[in-house]
Amino acid sequence: MIATTRPSESVAELTLYVAFELGKQTWKLAMTSGVGVVPWVRTVPGGDLGAVDRALAAGRARFRLSAGTRVVSCYEAGRDGFWVHRALVQRGVSNRVVDSASIEVNRRARRAKTDRLDALKLVTMLVRVCQGERRVWSEVRVPSAAVEAARHVSRERSTLVRERTRLKNQVRGWLAAVGCGLPRRRGAQWWTRVRDWAGAALPVELQGRLERAAARWRVLEQQLEAVAAQQAAAVAAAPRDSALARLVRVKGVSTTSAAVLVAEGLAWRQFRNRRQLGGLLGFAPTPYASGTAVREQGISRAGNARLQAVSIQLAWNWIRWQPGSPLTQWYLARFGLGKRARRIGVVALARKLVIVLWRYAVTGEAPRGALLAPAA
């Protein structure tokens, strides 16, 4: 998610402003025609686009706007994703998808919150944005349908890896409870050969549980292999000058890491500068300066969690596989004095590395001093 700047709307231009509060059963539509005009709220069944068209027509009539009056709308990014945005754009509506975390709220300890109040608040903010006020909120850059579909592969792999790790830790816990550990080499029916703290075979009930867990483990491994094959096929089919094909040529950047970088927006988000990329990554400082109190609160971590995880992995791999690059030399000279310093410094290296890889993926500017595989 990234803040974007858009040209302000003309104050004299007649516009119907609409804010959607999307629920599972119903949608709230708060509509107004500008500053000082009391918003009007309508409720339609969730996902009923025909009802939305009728509500927009009723809104134009209520505010005495012509049938051809342009409509500007917004809604918060959430469970419904971007299909609502595409449907509205197809109907000629100028829509904006808003980052929910950037919406201003009352800071009282307890405040009223309903879908109606949220929609009313959102439509007033929409009018402010369209009239040129800056930093009202942050907007989400909407991916194309193809890019959004491609993200399922890398995200599925992350989910499968987490499930496998969780299952492995469960099995280790069950075995630790009877005084034994998980064998490093596990053949067929391995649980029948494991012995507890007294040298006896495991209870029949525990063996049955381990057998069922092993079956789930095998399914996870098979699915991971299928996803890995799908990612490898995507790399093989990628054009030579594509972002994916460029990234996999860098030593230390695996197919999986490159797929995550591309899927999460290293190229399609169209960053204008490194600050925007750093904002998405979330590795940014958060200073606190009020009166005489001045301190640094650490990095914000308010970025894309998948990019954060893969960037840290890439940073450690970069130190190992690119020892002669200026980035590695900078890291070792500044943070190579102790274990704690290395853990702190790897975050700074990750931020620099992702920016370098972004430039290479988009423009073809190779990282200085990096080892690259020859183009296929």
pLDDT of residue 104: 85
CA distance 33 to 62: 10
What's the gap between Cα 38 and its chain centre? 36
Please report, rounded to a whole number, the percentage of residues in the chain having pLDDT higher than 90.
Answer: 69
pLDDT of residue 376: 58
CA distance 205 to 276: 55
Pairing state of beta strands 70-76 and 40-45? unpaired
Q: Which residue has the tokens 């595409």?
A: 86
pLDDT of residue 299: 78
Q: Tell me the longest C-alpha to C-alpha distance in the chain.
A: 86
Half-sphere exposure (CA, 13 Å, Cβ side) for 342? 10
* Predicted confidence band of residue 270 (pLDDT cuts 50, 70, 90): confident
pLDDT in tens, 36-90: 899 999 999 999 999 999 999 999 999 999 998 999 999 999 999 999 999 999 9
* Predicted confidence band of residue 343 (pLDDT cuts 50, 70, 90): very high
Q: How far is CA 208 from CA 53, 166, 189, 233, in A?
A: 57, 19, 11, 38
pLDDT in tens, 157-214: 999 999 999 999 999 999 999 999 999 988 899 999 999 999 999 999 999 999 999 9
Q: Report the predicted TM-score, pTM, of the whole model to 2 decimal places.
A: 0.82
Mean pLDDT, the chain, rounded, equals 90
Regarding predicted confidence, which is higher, 187 or 6? 187
CA distance 32 to 16: 6
pLDDT of residue 11: 46
Helix (H) or strand (E) holding 44: strand 40-45
Say which amino acid occupies 76: E
CA distance 17 to 31: 5
CA distance 73 to 34: 13
